[in-house]
Amino acid sequence: MERHRNWPAECWQFDFEVPMSLSDRYDPVISIAGSVALDVNGQQRAPGDLMTQTDMVAREVRLTVEGAGAGANSIAKLVVFYVGQGEDIREEMLSRLRAGLPGMDDAVITAVPITNLAFPGMMIEVEGYAFADGSTALVRQAPADGVLAAGNMVFVGGNAAAATGAEDLESQAASSLVGLRNGLVQAGLKLTDVVRLNVYYVSGGGPADLATVGWVLSQGFSAPGPVVTFVPLPALSRPGCLVMMDAIGMVGPREHLETPPWQWPENWPFSQALACGDVIFVGGQVAFDADRKVLKAGDMAAQTSLVMDRVVAMLGHFGAGINETMKVGCWYSAGASVDMLKRNAMVRSSYFTKPGPTSTGVPTDALIDPGALVQIDVVAMTPRGH
């Protein structure tokens, strides 16, 4: 299986060089990097204007997918990180995004509100997946709103697994689990078919909130379960919503990492890394020791290096090298600034040979532990299934 990576010349650029790509295609899967409203010289466009930047980012995503040899109608899943609050803002932003990407009407979209992005005035960053057979969108099915099957993956988006009901984390975590289960059932899958889970929950990052959400969600899975990335946020996009998830499901045998560097609490069945077919998923990695105590306290670069070293080892367990990584997601909490982005990006990108995989970096107010400054998750693809 051939891999094709691309950064179209007409697309945005950083004002510093990193060995990454805007698209990484491993047929039929196309990974789309976090796209933003910078120009070709790395300068901010329309600072502070969410809607104008949304139009610009839609164009960037379209050009990225076209650079991968496909069209906007091949887009299957998008995650939208945006600065703003309120349903009206979210709906207008999503409407403009869809208008700028004609043909992706059935794509699963998860909208994640955040306090700020890396550059001053940056209001939106969009990443995701597309699936194409040659230049034509792969056959897909959308059995319900927020659920899409494309290729051998089923995506359940945030609007399908967002909590409703009582205004407490425990009840809403249970509600979001029901929404996820129902979405999977519409596509003929079960919770046991989930390979990757992203959990967004309203919290200041305290361990008690993580314990509550993690324990409730653990009741829906049996060991060894999916990989998971927990992301505490100040708020979610719908009023009163405290928990929202998105997930990837796949049918087929899988292999799990049996001896990870650290473990979730004993009764949580989540895996640190797993492989299903050609795909390897590594869940959110933090610089924990075996007892979940943070190492390299106060040093983002050192924590990033430690986490990336572990990612290399995890991929190696499944017979993959670091350059077979397709998608890197990075959350960092040491302050949002251009300088912080550069320091973090330069460390994690140094592990790759140009052209490298796609990458998305998002600053947050807090991570799952007060001492954690970075959390990284990874998707890799290699011909394991052949």
DSSP-derived letter for residue 94 is H
Q: How far is CA 379 from CA 7, 11, 111, 184, 327, in A?
A: 19, 24, 20, 21, 5
pLDDT digits (tens, 9 = 90+) for 60-82: 999 999 999 999 999 999 999 99
| pLDDT on residue 333 | 86
pLDDT tens for residues 38-67?
Answer: 999 999 999 999 999 999 999 999 999 999
Confidence of residue 339 (pLDDT cuts 50, 70, 90): confident
Residue 1 pLDDT grade (very low, low, confident, very high; cuts 50, 70, 90): low
Give pLDDT, residue 334. 60
Give the C-alpha separation, 328 to 378, whole Å: 5
CB atoms within 10 A of CB 86: 12
Distances (CA, A) of 27 to 45, 109, 132, 136, 279: 33, 22, 7, 12, 12
Strand 273-276 relative to strand 325-332, pairing: unpaired
Domains with residue ranges and CATH for the chain: 1-138 (3.30.1330.40)
Lowest-confidence pick of 213-217, 297-301, 312-316:
297-301
Mean per-residue pLDDT, 344-370: 91
- Give the pLDDT of residue 118: 86
Sheet holding 254-256, edge to edge: 254-256, 273-276, 279-285, 374-381, 325-332, 358-363
Whether residue 385 has pLDDT greater than 70: no
Q: Which residue has 């107010």 as its token pair?
A: 365
Over the chain, what is the mean pLDDT? 93
Q: What is the pTM of this model?
A: 0.96
Residue 203 has pLDDT above 70, yes or no: yes
Cα–Cα distance for residue pair 224/132, rounded to 1 Å: 31
